[in-house]
Structure 1
Amino acid sequence: MFELDSLAASTAIYPLACAIITAAAAGPVIQIRFRAELRLIPITSGAVLISLAILPGPWAVLAAAAGMLTSQLLTQRTLLKLTFNVAKEVLAVTAASLALPLFGVTPAVSSPAGLPSPAQLSLALAAAALCYAIVDDLLGHTVLALASGVSWLQSARRNWDIVAAVRVANLALAVTIALVVRKDLWLIVAMPLTVLALQQATKSRIRRRADDEAWRRLAGATDRLNHTDLTTVLRSAVVQAPELFSADDAEIELRDATGGRLIRAAYDGPPGQAPEWGGCTITTVLGGHEGSGPVGELRLRFRTSVSLEQSEKYKLRTFASALATSIRNAIAYAELERVSDEHAYHATHDPLTGLANRRELLDRAGDAYAGRGDEGVLALLLIDLNHFKEVNDTLGHQAGDLVLCEVASRMQRAAQPQDLVARLGGDEFAVLFTGLPTPAMATHRAETLFRELESSVEVEGMRLTVEACGGIALFPGSGGVTEVLRRADVAMYQAKRSGRRITTYAHSRDPADVNRLVLGGELRRAIAEGEFVVDFQPIVDLGTGDVVSAEALARWEHPDHGCLTPMRFLETVERSDQLPAFADAVLEQSLSAVSIWREAGFDLPVAVNVSPRSLLDPGFPDAVLERLSRHAVAPDRLTLELAETLTISQLDVVGRALDDLRSAGVGLALDYFGSGVSSLSVLSRIPVHQLKIDRGFVQTVETSPEAAALIQSTVDLARSLRLVVVAEGVESEPQRRALFELGCVAGQGHLFARPMRADRVTATLQRGTAGRSGALAEPMHEAGSVVRMSRRRPSGHGRSLPHLHA
């Protein structure tokens, strides 16, 4: 027990001092808003513990009650809250006073007795602090939960770390002061000012910490507003705003020409249809750009009247500014997407009927053809309206447009969801049938569609009968979309000529296929009599104009039809049993040409096209190597060009032949690169040395950014894989320069030379350009060349295929 100098002094000064300490501690409380209620972070526990360490329990309770009542009378204007705070304090102090005797600490105002040790005193005050905290939190959070409409646990979790830090600091403060005062009890007189100063320092530190945490939460909340979807931005804001500003709810009202939009946690719609809301509302304008009005308002809603502090107002303005920026960005992004989608739609749809256009049909058909498998049969129906020109000539183009729109609408209704209806132009339509169970189902589906067109169309008070004819073609095993379009067109005109409504394509009625059959019967004679000859087109270094190699191009010198290009006979040859003999004849002439050029002093490699069917022959690699040996041509002087339209299944079969040829030193090139449907897949499976860019991209390299980008990406890909890129179909100097600037180092085309026989190639190389033997064009730069190769070497000495590099 503590001993006081006199009973009179103890009964007057020390209880009074403790009451003053309690009043001082209860005044500068830390207020934390929770929903519409203010949570007062307790810093009076330190003063209470000091009183309990000096005074008997009842006296400490009276001192705490007097101090709390004095503080509340000065700061609290609501009688109900004043009564509750004083009553809560009395109950909490009473509970704390009951813990001290359990640890042998019983302060008294009688004569001194044995004083507790510092450890015993600290332990007793810690127990008292715990009891005080339990009662204080139990009562405080219960009332706060009832007032704010949230759960007790939710209220208790709010700022629990700050509350815990304050209580620990108060406990340490009480133990320190109690140990100092017991040395000289009259020091209690100086304690009110000391406690007040310490409490103010604690309050400032905790408030700074809470303020820093609030700004961190605000920064995190504004980061989560950065989204391109407007609805996501708005919903994120109405969820985060109540948490940031301890509001009961939040809403955002957007203003636009359509009447606006109101968003709450459980509502998203027109402002006039939103449920009514009572209570207090704090509104912040969401500002717009300079020169434009605000985009809307952010409203915080509270159950009771609330007044924000200055710091809270500043945080609210900051949050509102970030929200307004995110809303404007999301609106701008949505507008960009809308414009982009609109442009994409117009690029793939007919402006009159809204159907897919030719481009979309070709793209969709190409995708379906590339992904064909077990999904069913693919077919294409072409439809042409009969006598449609008479409608335009008689009733005018506006009436004709009405007919076209009605036909498009009926076709769209009759088609299946997985089908694609397109307008190709004029009065020509197409329907892509996908997923057909059998080929015959294409005719059935076409009949259904034509029946939809049978009923008359009323235009300007007149009833017109729509007559049409159509041609159906199944997707072929090779030839792709271009071939199926040709076949459907053939079938459609057969239907038109025969007067039938629908005709299905048949090989026997295709004039082009009849010619192929005729040619097929003449292949054996043509090979035996040497009608197949080979022309060579030089491949030129784009930078220097020097010839670096040549491509072999087969021709059929037909006695009746004249000179036929591979487009006329190659498919027929590949389907026949004469393919090995044909490939051998082409290879023989190509290697003979290499020998001729070498004897003339030009060591040029030669590129020869090879059919995938040739690679299926197990003896093909040995036959190639035997021919090379017979002509004393090094394997690296020969490059075999493979079509980029090879399928993965074909690659699986011919892979061994390709590996054998590459291992022997024969070069491999991937032809028509970029025109197939699986460029990268094929490239990853073929050990090639060269990529040849299809002439279709070269012809538009000056005018098409897409073509230039594809060539650029091909060059970059080839450079990373250490491959050579050759451009086909170079026909002008601007094309040459554009290709060179994109990084393509070699090309062939009419700009340099047309295909010619081997002896003419020799003469052309000897003549050269501007006195430069072996060159077919002037160099584009003066310092150095892009392609380096020896033009002349002693006869009989081979060399590797020259490496082209920029």
Structure 2
Amino acid sequence: MTDEQKAHHNATDRQLRLLVGLVVFVALVALIFSIHAIATGLVNTPPLVAIAALALAATASTSAVVNVRVNATKFGQSWTDIVILVALTVMPPPWVVVSTAVGIVIGRFLARVSPLKVAFGTGKDTICAAAGGLVAYATGAHFVQGEPQFHLTTLFLMLLAVTFTDELLINPVISLATQTPLSQQIRRHLDIRLGFLAARLIVAFFVVWLLSVNHDAQLLLVVPLLILTMHLWYLSRIRKRDERISWQGLATSAEALNDVDLDRVMAVAVEWAPSLFSADSAEVEVFHTDQPKVVRGTAGKVALEGAWPADAFVITTVLEGRTDRRPIGEFRLRFRGPVTLNEMENYKLRTFASALNTALHNATAYAELERIAIVHAHDAAHDALTGLANRRQLIDQGQKKIAEGHSDGVIALLLLDLNHFKEVNDTLGHAAGDQVLKVVADRLKSAARPADLVSRLGGDEFAVLLTGLPAPAVATHRSEGLIAVLHESIEVEGMQISVEASGGIATAPSTGGIAELLRRADVAMYQAKRSGQRIATYSHARDTADIGRFAITGSMSSAVADGTLTVDFQPIVDLANGEVLAAEALARWHHPDHGTVDPLRFLETVERSGLLPAFAEAVLDQALLACVSWREAGFDLPVAVNVAPRSLLDPRFPGSVMTRLRTHDLPPDRLILELTETLTISQLEVVDQVLGRFRDEGVRLALDDFGTGYSSLSVLSRIPVHELKIDSEFVTAMETSPEAGAVIRSTVDLGRSLNLAVVAEGVDSEPQRRALWEMGCTAGQGHLFARPMTAARLLAALHRGSGGRPGMLAPALHDEGAVIRLSPHRRPVPRQRSERLPHLGG
């Protein structure tokens, strides 16, 4: 208890003692006047038996108290006023005052109550007897030889005087002791007090009628027995009422506990429990939450603060778990003094605790389900690694923004793809790669505006939905700022890693929604990658998948059957003497309505569609047929096609290729499969198995775009390739870039040391041819020798030759004897980068 609470308690105690002292003083005055009247003979002396019966009845009335419990409060109603009223009908008031005082003192001491209660109880009842006597004298009642003479009206007025005086004295004291406003105390339990008043009036009139019929004062001895009978009857009625109210309250509280909110369940428990069990307060503590919760309260009120007094009497009920029976909490009731619950009360306590336990389980289960639902909803809309929005949330939010219209500005999407990110995973491991992705995510989120949505679509691909832009051009400016934050190096495992990204920007289209916006941003991003730009804005003219082109590729399924799909071939020659060493198959489509369709307009779409397997098989068949025709004409040239990434993941792919070779009766080494370097560094076991099968069967493998990948040497240590193809970018730049020349020299030296053929792509001029030959590169491919042509035209060119030499497409750089020819099994297969055959489907 705090000092302030102690001071308040002491002040209340002083006021209470003063009020009790005033009551005792008034009672003493009444008692002194009564004794004086008796001593001076102003009143007659009634029979001794009447005096003894009155004192005995007063003593008994103090023990026969009906305790009533309502809403956690308990108050008592005694029968003393009946004793006083009956006594005033048979003896003079002074004797009633003295006898009542004596009987009440004896009864209070026998009840072992505190001296303060003895003083107040005796003083109150003494004053009540004096008030009844004054009413008797005031209404003209008089006594003739000890027998009272008055009307029934006087009896009724005396009862009102005694009752009113009792209420007038006891309510202020209770109000002060319980800190309850006096007006509220007077109204409290008024219905019960009025009922009790009616019962007392009935008993009083019955006794008076009995005495009026038989004028024998000894009948007062019957009053205690009558009072006891009435007491037991009324007590039984009150108990039944209390039990009915209590069970109704228990049922109502159990219904109120049926809530899914844990805090509400605990609050309901401490609000209802005090009234159900007549406790001063209640407490519920729950253990199994993240932090133990404690809720404390009184009837109808939750009080979270304050501690119970150390001397409080507490009844504790353990709340057990349903499965492991371990305690999940405790339910406690506090009383001011020791309390013993009877069997019925213990049963009610167990019932209430069981309902509370069930409610706590239900609430915690619901809270857990709600928590799981929130987690699942968050996980469904967010990337697990970076915490950013995922593709699903981007689509939902983007579609909502687009549906709302452009009233608040232009909507744009920036699609980002990290360059060379796979190198981080392959070199430093996936843990390092994850760390880089987290840093990138944090930087993008910090640089974006609050209204922008930053998301990770998967892998190293990110997207930022830009909203509220004043103009489309602002999207480029904002996107450059977002990409700029990635330029600062990232420290991973003590190493500084530079992060670069390619970005595509697209504004929301008028039709197609978020799906079309994503597609356009994807197209722009790949445009940026191809052109080497950091950012590219979507251009309809460069979109290889617009509606018109989709209409073109929609008829691709019939291209194979109707003969509109053909294959052209570009030769590769010996750089020294111009001899044709091989040819690469390049797809061509002659559309009936649109004429010859540029491969750039349909290959990318075909690769992403379900037509890829049939398309690639048709190209492979035509390539092998051309190889057979050349061989039969005396030109044994290998033919090459590219391999789709997913084909390398299919263990059945080698068997399908070998079946076609046997169908065309071609040796396996007449087919060379080109592998893009960046697609063979995944280090998946199935890829190694597929490539190992080809090596064992004799099919030759060429590593395309060598030098542009991220793990060239590691690829050569795993992939059983026969040839390396130098990317055309290095050939084009070698005349002006020493670095490009160095890459070509190192590739040629590497091929020579590993016994691999080396082919240069994009040879378009004689100076390039001679420079490559001087570096040691023996084979080349490009427009200098020939553009792509049909199989028949290539065969005619082989027959015609150069300078009358069949099989030659260029004059020799030197004498025939100075040339060291490639062995047949090392002959490379050329192709032109800009017209690559779509990958074979598995």
TM score, norm. by length of structure 1: 0.57
SS in 2 for 1:108: strand
Distance in structure 2 (CA, Å) of the matches to 1:385 and 1:370: 30
Deviations 1:648-689 (A, max 9, x none): xxxxxxxxxxxxxxxxxxxxxxxxxxxxxxxxxxxxxxxxxx
Residues 1:487 and 1:303: Cα distance change in structure 2 (over 3 Å): same
Question: Partners of 1:504 and 1:107 in 2: how far apart?
Answer: 118
Q: Is the 8 A contact 1:226 1:326 kept in 2?
A: yes
Query: In structure 2, do the counterparts of structure 1 residues 91 and 139 end up closer, same or farther at CA, with 3 Å as the change threshold?
Result: farther
Shift of 1:462: 0.8
CA distance in 1, matches of 2:344, 2:173: 25
Please point out which of 214, 229, 234 is paired with 2:266. 234
Aligned counterparts of 1:432 and 1:475: Cα–Cα separation in 2: 10
Matches within 5 A, 1:377-392: 377-392=410-425
The one of 83, 90, 98 equivalent to 1:62 is 98
Q: SS in structure 1 opposite 2:160? A: helix
Which whole-Å deviations, capped at 9, do the CAs of 1:332-369 have from their partners, x for residues lacking one? 22222222333333333222222222122222222333
- Segments ≥4 residues shifted beyond 6 Å: 33-37, 266-269, 516-519
1:280 maps to a residue whose letter is A
**Structure 1 110/370 Cα, relative in aligned 2: closer, same or farther at 3 Å?**
farther
3-state SS, counterpart of residue 228 of structure 2? helix
SS at match of 2:331: strand
Query: Offset at 1:444?
Result: 3.8
Q: What amino acid sits opposite 1:95 in the alignment?
A: A
In the alignment, the residues of structure 2 paired with residue 106 and residue 494 of structure 1 have an alpha-carbon distance, to the nearest angstrom, of 120
Aligned equivalents of 2:269, 2:158: Cα separation in 1: 46
1:280 Cα shift? 0.8
Distance 1:472 1:43 in 2: 94
The 8 Å contact of residues 81 and 163 in structure 2, kept in 1 or not, is answered as: no
1:498 aligns with 2:531: yes
Counterpart AA for 2:141: T
Instruction: Name the SS for the 1:287 alignment partner.
Output: strand
Q: Does 1:211 align with 2:247?
A: no
The reply to whether residue 181 of structure 1 matches residue 211 of structure 2 is yes
| Structure-2 separation of matches of 1:105 and 1:220 | 55
Query: Match of 1:560?
Result: 594
**Which residue type is aligned with residue 27 of structure 1?**
S
1:13-412 alignment runs, 5 A limit:
13-32=49-68, 39-102=75-138, 104=139, 106=141, 108=143, 110=145, 115-116=150-151, 118=152, 120-121=153-154, 123-142=156-175, 145-146=176-177, 148-153=178-183, 155-156=185-186, 158-186=188-216, 187-256=219-288, 260-265=292-297, 277-288=309-320, 289=322, 291-303=324-336, 306=339, 308=341, 311-372=344-405, 374-412=407-445
Determine the C-alpha separation between the residues in 2 that align with 1:278 and 1:500. Answer: 78
Distance across 1 between alignment mates of 2:475 and 2:82: 90
SS of equivalent residue, structure 2 residue 282: strand
- Whichever residue aligns with residue 58 of structure 1, its letter is P
1:282 offset after TM fit, Å?
A: 0.9
Is the Cα–Cα contact under 8 Å of residues 91 and 147 in structure 2 kept in the other structure?
Answer: no
> Where does residue 480 of structure 2 map in the other structure?
447
Q: Distance in 2 between matches of 1:90 and 1:74?
A: 18
| CA-to-aligned-CA distance 1:630-661 (integer Å, 9 cap, x gap) | xxxxxxxxxxxxxxxxxxxxxxxxxxxxxxxx
CA contact (8 A) 2:45 2:146 kept: no
Mapped to 2, the partners of 1:200 and 1:561 lie a distance apart of: 114
More off after superposition, 363-372 vs 394-403: 363-372
Residue 477 (structure 1) aligns with: 510
1:429-448 CA distance string (max 9 Å, x none): 11223344544443343333
Q: Distance in 2 between matches of 1:113 and 1:243?
A: 47
Q: CA deviation at 1:319?
A: 2.4
Q: Secondary structure at the match of 2:258?
A: coil
Tell me the CA shift for residue 107 of structure 1: 5.2
Matches within 5 A, 1:783-794: none
Distance in 2 (CA, whole Å) between partners of 1:127 and 1:422 is 84
Change (3 A) 1:518 1:299: closer
Contact 1:51 1:63 in 2 (8 A): no
Q: CA contact under 8 A between 1:376 and 1:437: conserved in structure 2?
A: yes
Gap change, CA 1:428 and 1:33, over 3 Å in 2? same
1:252 counterpart SS class: strand
Deviation at 1:466, TM superposition (A): 1.1
* Greater Cα shift, 302-311 or 166-175: 302-311
Aligned partner of 1:228: which letter?
V
Q: Which runs of 5 or more residues in structure 1 are unaligned?
A: 1-6, 520-556, 563-567, 569-806
Other-structure match for 1:789: none
**Structure 1 pair 20/261, CA: closer, same or farther in 2 (3 Å)?**
same
The 1:35/1:203 distance shift into structure 2, 3 A limit, reads closer
- Which of 443, 454, 458 is equivalent to 2:491? 458
Work out whether residues 238 and 252 of structure 1, in 8 Å CA contact, stay in contact via their aligned partners in 2. yes
The answer to whether the 8 Å contact 2:277/2:345 transfers is: yes
| Distance across 1 between alignment mates of 2:392 and 2:551 | 35
What's the CA shift string for 1:699-718, capped at 9, x where partnerless? xxxxxxxxxxxxxxxxxxxx
Matched residue type, 1:25: S
**Matches of 2:395 and 2:457 in 1, distance apart?**
10
- Given that residues 34 and 247 in structure 1 are in contact (C-alpha distance below 8 angstroms), is that contact kept between their aligned partners in structure 2? no
Q: Percent identity?
A: 41
User: Post-superposition shift, 1:56?
Assistant: 3.1
Aligned residues: 510
Say if 2:505 and 2:536, in contact at 8 Å, map to a contact too.
yes
CA contact (8 A) 1:92 1:135 kept: no
- Per the alignment, residue 590 of structure 1 pairs with none
Distance verdict in 2 for CA 1:268–1:135, change over 3 Å: closer
Report the Cα distance in structure 2 between the residues aligned to 1:407 and 1:310, rounded to whole angstroms: 69
CA shift digits 1:249-289 (9 cap, x unpaired): 332232238673333357769xxxx8574331313223312
Task: Decide whether aligned partners of structure 1 residues 24 and 502 sit closer, same or farther in structure 2, where only a CA change above 3 A counts.
Answer: same
Question: TM-score normalized by structure 2?
Answer: 0.55
Question: What's the offset of the Cα at 1:58?
Answer: 2.4
Q: SS where residue 26 of structure 1 aligns?
A: helix
- Structure 1 position 414 matched with structure 2 position 447: yes
* Higher gyration radius (CA): 2
Which residue of the other structure, out of 420, 428, 431, is the alignment partner of 2:461? 428
Amino acid of the residue matched to residue 77 of structure 2?
Answer: I
Give the superposition deviation at 1:381. 1.9
CA offsets 1:485-530 (integer angstroms, 9 cap, x no match): 11111222222233333333343443445848999xxxxxxxxxxx
CA distance in 1, matches of 2:304, 2:119: 43
